[in-house]
Structures are given as structure tokens and as C-alpha cells.
């Protein structure tokens, strides 16, 4: 997003979010200090903090403003809710050690020199590194009893969830999210 900063000479300079906190030079030669990103956003009438879709959804769920009461299937008013387990992101692990298939291949190729191979290329366990984070949300969607059976397929479920703007932003951020209707208690 771009913001406009005014110079004392009367000219204005257009800056991006990436310029926050920097000092720029106006065409007149004067240095212009660009405010911090929260200050730029407040001056533009926006929230000072940029919230991720997950944060927006968590706040609205806590406030009780989601999911609404209009069925996403037929558009009629309903008080029934379907809970959808939305697995946006999961942790995955990598190992920096030598792959086992490589050791196996080297052992087969150089069987008489197995001891030399182990000395030269020490078989190490490596370091296991974790990447990403577990982002799993249980999202309520309003679905009347007549439309409930239509949400067995993930494609239909995803298409219906995108009718709720907050969920649409979440599914745009995590297009490969796995959706599953939770069992009703």
C-alpha cells in the first residue's frame, strides 16, 4: 500500500510500507522522515497493526461475531452450525544428515572398501530441523438441516466457506488447506 507524506515546501512524496522509518529526500532537497508503519497506517485511517486472517478469525470467534446466521447453502436464516476442521499448515521436519539410500548405494558399489567409506564419509545422524507451524482451526459455518448433507465433499465445503469474507481470506492465504467436517457431539 502506498502513503503520501507532505514536505514543508508543499510537495508530497509517495512512499510504500517498505519505506517506513527511512529518511527520503524531496525534490526540493529537504530530508523527509517517514514515520513508522503503524503511524503511517493510522494516518491513512487504517488499523495500526496488520492482522493475519487467522488473527482476525480468532478475534471474531472470541467476540461471537462469526459465523452469522445465514445458511451458506441456501441463503435462508438458520441457527444451526457445522464445524469444519481446517488444517491450514503443519510442521514438517528435515534431516541434514546423509540420506540412508546414499549409504546403502555406496556400500553396494564399494563393498570391499566399506571401512574406508565409513571413515571418509562418517555416517552422521545430522540435525533434525522443524519448519512451519501447526495452524489448525475449527471454524463454524451456518448450515441449515436441509443443506447439511451437501457438504460431504471438500470442494463444495471450500466453495461454501468462501462466502464468508474472513474465511475467504484464510483460504486465499492457505489454498491447500485440508477441510473436514467435525463430528457433532
Q: What is the pLDDT of residue 121?
A: 57
> pLDDT tens digits for 110-140?
666 666 556 555 555 667 777 878 889 999 9
- Give the pLDDT confidence score for residue 87 in this predicted structure: 93
Cα–Cα distance, 138 to 81 (Å, whole number): 12
Q: Which residue has the cell 457445522?
A: 82
SS3 at position 145: coil
* pLDDT, position 185: 46
If one counts every other C-beta atom within 10 angstroms of the C-beta of residue 107, the result is 13
Phi, psi (deg, nearest 5) at residue 112: -65, -20
Look up residue 12 and give its three cell numbers. 508530497
73-114 residue pLDDT tens: 888 999 999 999 999 988 888 877 767 777 677 677 766 666
Distance between CA atoms of residues 137 and 164, nearest Å: 15
CA 52/CA 54 separation, integer angstroms = 5
Q: Who's near 150: CB < 8 A, 6+ residues apart? A: 73, 156
Query: 147 or 100: whose pLDDT is higher?
Result: 147
Per residue in 6-40, pLDDT (tens digit) is: 888 999 888 888 888 888 888 899 998 888 888 88
pTM strictly above 0.85: no
Quickly count: other Cβ atoms within 10 Å of residue 99's Cβ: 10
Q: What's the pLDDT at 119?
A: 56
Amino acid at each position: 500500500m502506498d502513503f503520501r507524506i507532505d514536505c514543508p515546501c508543499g510537495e508530497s512524496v509517495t512512499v510504500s510500507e517498505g519505506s517506513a522509518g527511512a529518511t527520503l529526500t524531496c525534490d526540493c532537497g529537504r530530508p523527509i522522515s517517514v514515520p513508522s508503519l503503524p503511524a503511517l497506517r493510522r494516518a491513512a485511517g487504517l488499523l495500526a497493526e496488520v492482522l493475519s486472517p487467522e488473527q482476525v478469525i480468532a478475534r471474531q470467534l472470541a467476540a461471537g461475531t462469526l459465523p452469522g446466521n445465514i445458511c451458506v447453502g441456501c441463503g435462508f436464516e438458520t441457527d444451526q452450525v457445522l464445524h469444519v476442521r481446517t488444517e491450514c499448515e503443519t510442521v514438517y521436519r528435515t534431516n541434514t544428515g546423509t540420506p540412508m539410500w546414499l549409504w546403502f548405494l555406496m556400500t553396494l558399489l564399494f563393498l570391499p572398501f566399506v571401512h574406508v567409506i565409513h571413515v571418509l564419509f562418517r555416517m552422521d545422524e545430522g540435525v533434525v530441523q522443524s519448519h512451519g507451524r501447526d495452524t489448525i482451526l475449527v471454524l463454524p459455518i451456518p448450515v441449515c438441516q436441509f443443506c447439511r448433507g451437501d457438504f460431504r465433499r471438500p470442494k463444495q465445503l471450500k466453495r461454501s466457506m468462501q462466502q464468508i469474507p474472513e474465511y475467504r481470506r484464510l483460504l486465499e492465504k492457505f489454498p491447500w488447506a485440508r477441510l473436514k467436517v467435525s463430528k457433532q457431539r
